[in-house]
Amino acid sequence: MPHDTKALVLDFGGVVTRTMFETHDLTERALGLAPGSLTWRGPFDPATDSLWQAMQRDEISERDYWHRRTQEIAELTGNEWTEMAQFVKAARGADPDAVMRPEALAAIDIARQAGCKLAILSNELDLFYGADFRKKLAFLDDFDVIVDATYTRILKPDPRAYQLCLDELGLPASACVFVDDQLRNIRGAETAGLQTVHFDVLSPRSSYDQALSLLGLPSLLQGDMT
């Protein structure tokens, strides 16, 4: 392997897909809910989402947050869901490509064409989305490594999670740029020695441009996202 090989390492969640907060309209249509039924907005309006604020204070985990939201929506729709994957599959399963971030797909393509390795490092890829979800996403075939704590049981920011990914990539931490929307995970990656980008869901393009810059690659072009 060339000594100068680099890797783009992505969280999945809000980094590769538009967040559930951004797609309330799609969720409401898919689940037969009236427009405006879903009002929680997480990082897009934290002042009105007390549960999100509790998660940011580390009073509850991200899994706890989505478990509570799943229970709420199950009650609204008359379902007996016990797992986040049941909610996501119902809301997004029919057309997962519709919720992909175009900026993510463009950045992944730039990195791939430049010879960078690609990895997903997620705490709950199949737990939240279901194993069938990712099978519908052709671009994941280009990824060299997918490390999912659904199976490893080692959650970011545990340093072992990052090391598992590095071991599978066969690269030193300094050669990898890690992108995640949760600050606790970014701090864990920094401790592990990775270069990092704290993904801003309010400004996805600038976040991906920052990651590409750290890899020594050109920024996104408007044409890449049409």
Tell me whether residue 1 is in a domain.
no
User: What is the model's pTM?
Assistant: 0.88
Q: How long is the chain?
A: 226
Q: Which residues of the chain have pLDDT under 50?
A: 1-3, 222-223, 226
Tell me whether residue 152 is in a domain.
yes
| DSSP code at position 2 | -
For residue 159, whether the previous peptide bond is cis, meaning omega lies within 30 degrees of 0, is: no
Tell me whether residue 42 is in a domain.
yes
Sheet holding 195-198, edge to edge: 145-148, 117-122, 7-10, 176-180, 195-198
The count of structural domains within the chain is 2
Q: Answer yes or no: do 188 and 79 share one domain.
A: no
Q: Answer yes or no: do 11 and 118 share one domain.
A: yes
- Find the domain containing 28 and state its range: 24-95
Tell me whether residue 38 is in a domain.
yes
Q: Answer yes or no: do 170 and 133 share one domain.
A: yes
Q: What's the pLDDT tens digit per position in 30-49?
A: 999 999 999 999 999 999 89
Q: Answer yes or no: do 55 and 161 share one domain.
A: no
Structure confidence at residue 95 (pLDDT): 82
Structure confidence at residue 223 (pLDDT): 42
Q: Answer yes or no: do 104 and 51 share one domain.
A: no
For residue 46, whether the previous peptide bond is cis, meaning omega lies within 30 degrees of 0, is: no
